[in-house]
Amino acid sequence: MEPILQVRQLSKRYRNGRGVRNISFEVRRGDVYGLFGPNGSGKTTVLKMISGLCKADSGSVSLFGHDAAEQFEPAMSRVGCIVETADAYDYMSGYDNLKLAARLYPELPKTRIDEVLEWVRLTPYKREKAGGYSLGMKQRLALAAALLNEPELVILDEPSNGLDIEGAVELRELILRLSAQNGTAFLISSHQLDEMERVCSRIGFMYGGAFIREGGIGELTGEESLERTYLSEIRKARGEGGADV
């Protein structure tokens, strides 16, 4: 099966010398792919390059067989993403925010807005102004907007930030349901390993702007815990040897 996202040797160096280097991985239909790493390890930079919010110095991104640098619109047409902001218009209701977002997709069935509101459990609050929403509700509204067009790949930067435990569980269930039932693929970042373990089918471990290990969840968990595998990989990357974590 052709991957829907292919990232090859992607590198970016900011003026301060930080950034990411040589990032390569693939996401296939139905995958929930997690980028895991501590703050500053480069997760957001990778997601921004893939979604066209910042330019790579080198490397390539291919989405649904289209090179994202050369054919940005067809490449992104089946992608929904929330990277950097989950902003809504505060003076408009949740429903009206989605109605505005839906104008980008004239073909959408009328029932679609109510459907995505239901998915993110915002139906009871849909007529309230988004300005009164909690951070978690705003995140769910942004997710509803990203799902409007039935994307085949959804890119989410730290999706559970600001969610309470119930919200985090609901988000996880939604991701698992959409990937299992519709084959929707997800690319998400997180610095919480337990959360990644529950939802991801594949994980890329990041450290200091690079991938230190990448693979299927079973392979990475192995006989150890995911946490021990990550710590062991960090030690190897630092040249300290992988044993005795």
When binding is defined by CB under 6 A, the residue of 23, 31, 36, 43 that contacts ligand ATP is: 43
From 86, 68, 84, select the one nearest 76 (Cα to Cα). Answer: 68
Selected range binding ligand ATP among 13-21, 55-63, 77-85, 104-112, rule: CB under 6 A: 13-21
Tell me the backbone φ, ψ of residue 12, rounded to 5 degrees. Answer: -150, 130
CA distance 220 to 202: 9
Q: Which two tokens stand for residue 221?
A: 């968990």
The least CB distance from residue 182 to ligand ATP, in Å, is: 28
For ligand ATP, which is the closer residue by CB, 130 or 188?
A: 188
By CB under 6 A, the count of residues binding ligand ATP is 13
What DSSP string runs through 115-128?
HHHHHTT-GGGTTS
State the minimum distance, in angstroms, from the CB of residue 235 to ligand ATP: 19
CA distance 123 to 100: 17
Residue of the chain from 6, 45, 93, 201 that contacts ligand ATP (CB under 6 A): 45
Q: What is the token pair recorded at 241?
A: 């040897």
Q: Are 4 and 154 in contact (CB under 8 A)?
A: no
Binding range to ligand ATP, per CB under 6 A, among 14-22, 93-101, 122-130, 210-218: 14-22
Q: Which two tokens stand for residue 29?
A: 């239909």
> With binding defined as CB under 6 A, does residue 190 bind ligand ATP?
no
Single-letter code of the amino acid located at 111: T
18 near ligand ATP, rule: CB under 6 A: yes
| Closest CB 102 distance from ligand ATP, rounded Å | 29
Is residue 44 close enough to count as binding ligand ATP by CB under 6 A?
yes
Interacting residue with ligand ATP among 2, 9, 14, 164 (CB under 6 A): 14
Query: Which of 3, 40, 162, 242 touches ligand ATP by CB under 6 A?
Result: 40
Q: Are strands 79-82 and 32-36 parallel, antiparallel or unpaired?
A: unpaired
Which DSSP symbol is given to 126? T
Residue numbers at the binding site for ligand ATP (CB under 6 A): 14, 16, 18-19, 37, 39-45, 191
